[in-house]
Amino acid sequence: MSTDPQEGRGTAKIRIDKWLWQARFFKSRSLAAGVVSAGHVRVNGQRAAKTSAAVGPGDVLTFPQGGRIRVIRIGAIGVRRGPATEAQALYEDLEPGPPEPNDSPPIQRDEGNARPTKRDRRKLDLDRRRALE
């Protein structure tokens, strides 16, 4: 008798929040569940309504992560949350390429002034917000 819980089901499936956590897209399973329950995750173009939605190999996920939108195809179901190299083998990244670099020049400061002024800080924050959009 086999101890594999996925055997005999035809196609292996796993909860979407658990898979996102195992593939190391989120630091905790509760963070992954929060993104799914807020309606920010799409499975094959359809919004995932519940954290218990089942996903399997071949499904395409679209979700926000760190100020950018990730588009990935599930390649395998993980057995555990292992090291990053093991997690990267679970999916294929479908994004066209790396994010475009920020074209604005860095703020010029005097040689003796290492810390930015309040005005410089506001400009830095504005540039960072524009880069995320």
Q: 22-73, pLDDT tens digit by residue?
A: 999 999 999 999 999 999 999 999 999 899 999 999 999 999 987 788 999 9
pLDDT of residue 14: 93
Question: Does a structural domain hold residue 9?
Answer: no
Please tell me whether residues 33 and 82 are part of one structural domain: yes
Please tell me whether residues 83 and 50 are part of one structural domain: yes
pLDDT of residue 72: 95
Please tell me whether residues 57 and 108 are part of one structural domain: no
Question: Does a structural domain hold residue 51?
Answer: yes
Question: Does a structural domain hold residue 24?
Answer: yes
Please tell me whether residues 72 and 52 are part of one structural domain: yes
The overall average pLDDT reported for the chain is: 83
DSSP of 85-129, one letter per residue? Answer: HHHHTTEEE--SSSPPPP-SPPPP--TT--S--HHHHHHHHHHHH
pLDDT of residue 3: 45
As for how many domains the chain has, the answer is 2
Please tell me whether residues 118 and 81 are part of one structural domain: no
Closest to 23 (Cα-Cα) out of 94, 73, 97: 73
Check pLDDT > 80 for residue 8: no
Q: 0.85 cut: is pTM over it?
A: no
Judged by DSSP in three states, 82 sits in coil
pLDDT of residue 12: 86
Check pLDDT > 90 for residue 132: no
Residues in a beta bridge with 91: 74
